[in-house]
């Protein structure tokens, strides 16, 4: 789960970099000649399309992770509750054993 969160943060970082590059290209495009300006605008459009695709993939990935987490949680949660009961019972028995062991020596 931690690895997938780091992947999501990496994608978000890439998206931010793309946004920064788009802004930089827009600024440069304002100063460029007509031919260069058209080429830059084309590149900007490509970057915007890639950004949209990456954002969609990130949303799909997050939804998939949430679904998988919830499914596993439903399976694991009853087992955790059962284990908690066993754990408490084990401590209780351990306490009784210590009491019996040390109670006889006193």
Q: What is the pLDDT along the chain (106 residues), one digit of tens a residue?
A: 666 677 778 888 888 888 888 888 877 767 666 667 778 788 888 888 877 788 888 888 888 888 888 888 888 888 888 888 888 999 899 989 888 888 865 4
Domain boundaries, the chain: 2-76
Q: Can you give the pLDDT at residue 106?
A: 46
* Spatial distance between the Cα atoms of 102 and 95, rounded to a whole number of angstroms: 10
* Spatial distance between the Cα atoms of 28 and 44, rounded to a whole number of angstroms: 11
């Amino acid at each position: 789960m931690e690895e997938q969160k780091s992947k999501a943060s990496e994608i978000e970082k890439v998206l931010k970099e793309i946004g920064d590059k788009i802004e930089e290209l827009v600024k440069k495009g304002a100063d460029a000649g007509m031919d260069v300006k058209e080429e830059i605008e084309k590149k900007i459009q490509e970057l915007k399309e890639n950004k949209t695709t990456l954002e969609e993939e990130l949303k799909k990935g997050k939804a998939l992770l949430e679904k998988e987490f919830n499914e596993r949680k439903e399976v694991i949660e009853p087992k955790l509750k059962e284990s908690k009961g066993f754990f408490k019972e084990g401590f209780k028995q351990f306490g009784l054993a210590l009491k019996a062991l040390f109670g006889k020596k006193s």
